[in-house]
Amino acid sequence: QYVKAIEPVAAIARDYKRKVPMAVASGGTRVNVLRTLKAIGLSDFFHAVITADDHLKPKPNPDMFLESARIMGIKPELCQVFEDGDLGLEAAREAGMPAIDVRPYL
């Protein structure tokens, strides 16, 4: 199966690797998320990978984003979310995190 990075977001991840804590919060399964990160060359960039397998309430509930912030030790309002769905944008708002809609770059 072919997967493609959202290049502007991947470029940000590459620029900030080991400079700031980063996390992935996805409604996908851990196996699929880790497989995708490996396929696009970003598998070792993130301090936390939160997935549906972590049994948190799904987006639009903010729990996945809040757990990511907790693991990274960052206040939610200091996090930046890059999101590709309406439910995730709502979850970021509910978490008090600024968010960028990346769908124009898909």
b/e code 17-52 from CB counts within 10 Å (16+ = b): eeeebbbbbbbeeeeebeebbeebebeebbebbbbe
pLDDT at residue 2, as a whole number: 78
Over 80: is that where the pLDDT of 50 sits? yes
What share of the chain in percent tops pLDDT 70? Answer: 99
What percent helix, strand, coil does the chain show, rounded to 5? 45, 10, 40
pLDDT tens digits for 56-91? 999 999 999 999 999 999 999 999 999 999 999 999
- Three-class SS of residue 35? helix
Element (H, E) at 83: strand 81-83
Domains in the chain: ranges and CATH: 7-105 (3.40.50.1000)
What share of the chain in percent tops pLDDT 90? Answer: 96
